[in-house]
Amino acid sequence: QLQLVESGGGVVQPGRSLRLSCVASGFSFGSYLMHWVRQAPGKGLEWVAVISYDGNSKYYADSMKGRFTISRDNSKNTLYLQVDSLSPEDTAIYYCARRGSMDVWGNGTTVTVSS
Amino acid sequence: QSALTQPASVSGSPGQSITISCTGTSSDVGGYNYVSWYQQHPGKAPKLMIYEVSNRPSGVSNRFSGSKSGNTASLTISGLQTEDEADYYCISYTSTYTRVFGGGTKLTVL
C-alpha cells in the first residue's frame, strides 16, 4: 500500500542542525513531486517546501529560506529535509506528502528544540 | 506569503450543511485552480478531501464538495455527521510556485 514514513526527529538544542527523512513505499517515488509540511503544537499546518520529481526544482516558504534544504534520493525512495540553526520556533511535527495535491501523508516526525 | 483566511470555527447539527470559506488573492486562490482541502482529526495526519477546487479523491464521501468564486474557495459538507468534527485546512498554489495554507477551521458538530 502507499506509505510514507518520516524519521529523524527528536530533542535537539537550539543552534544545532537536524536532517529529517521520509521513506516512500508502494508507489514509484521518482515520478512524484514531494512536499514537507510542519505543524507546531496546537497550531495549524504550515507549508515548508516542495521538490520536483527529479530534484531539479525546489521552492521554499519565505520564512524557511536559508535554513531549510529539501532534497531527495530517488534510488533510495527517500525525501530529506535539512534544518540548520534550529530555534524553539521550529518545534513541530514535520510531515512529508506526495504530489501537488498532497494525496498521501506520513504520520510525521516530532522535532523539539529545547536546551 | 500571507496565510489564506479561514473562519476559526464553524458549527452545525447532524444532518445540516455547512460551508467553510478560504479567501486569498489573485496571486493564489484567484489565479489558479489548485486549491485543496484537508481534514485533520486530533493526533492524526491530515487527509485529502478535495483537490483542484472541486475534485474528490476516491473513497471520500460525496457529502464533501468544493467550489471557487474569485479569490474565495469554499468547502461544503452536507448531511453533517458526528465523525465530520475535525479541523479543516485549505491550501493553494501561488504565483511564485510555492504553496500557502489557510489558518484552519475547527468544525463542531453539535
Q: How high is the pLDDT of residue B16?
A: 97
Q: If you average pLDDT over residues B73-93, what whole number do you get?
A: 98
A62-100 pLDDT, tens per residue? 998 889 999 999 999 999 999 999 999 999 999 999 999
Predicted local distance difference test score (pLDDT) of residue A71? 98
The predicted pLDDT at position B66 comes to: 98
Closest chain A residue to B89, measured at CA: A45
Q: Look over chain A and give the mean of its residue pLDDT values, rounded to a whole number.
A: 97
Partner residue facing A95 (CB), from B45, B97, B100: B45
φ, ψ dihedrals at B89, nearest 5°: -130, 140
Q: Which residues have CB under 8 Å from B81's CB, separation 6+? A: B14, B63, B109
Please give the Cα distance from A107 to A113 (Å, whole number): 20
Position A114 scores a pLDDT of 96
Which residues, other chains included, contact A44 with Cβ-Cβ below 8 Å and sequence gap of 6+?
A: B3, B87, B89, B101, B102, B103, B104
Asked if the model's pLDDT at residue A61 lies above 90, the reply is yes
pLDDT at A25: 97
Q: State the average pLDDT over residues A50-56.
A: 97
Residue of chain A whose alpha carbon sits nearest to that of B60? A103
Verify whether the Cβ–Cβ distance A61 to B45 is below 8 Å. no
Q: Give the distance from residue B95's alpha carbon to the nearest chain A alpha carbon, in angstroms.
A: 12
Nearest to A44 among B36, B99, B104 (CB): B104
Question: What average pLDDT does this structure show over A25-34?
Answer: 97
Average pLDDT rounded to a whole number, residues A94-111: 97
pLDDT category, B79, cuts 50, 70, 90?
A: very high
Chain B contact present for A23, CB below 8 A? no
Q: Which residue has the cell 468534527?
A: B85
Residue B2: per-residue pLDDT = 87
**Chains A–B, number of C-beta pairs less than 8 Å apart:** 61
Q: Point out which residues pair with A112 in neighbouring strands.
A: A11
Q: Given B1, B47, B51, which is nearest A62 (Cβ)?
A: B1
pLDDT in tens, B1-55: 789 999 999 999 999 999 999 999 999 999 999 999 999 999 999 999 999 999 9
Q: What is the mean pLDDT of residues B92-104?
A: 97
Q: Which residue of A has its CA nearest to B57?
A: A103
Sign of the C-alpha dihedral, residues B74, B79, B84, B85?
positive
8 Å CB contact between B73 and B22: yes
pLDDT at B1: 73
Count CB neighbours of B20 within 10 A.
22
Average pLDDT, chain B: 97
The pLDDT assigned to B17 comes to 97
Say if residues A1 and A106 touch (Cβ distance below 8 Å).
no
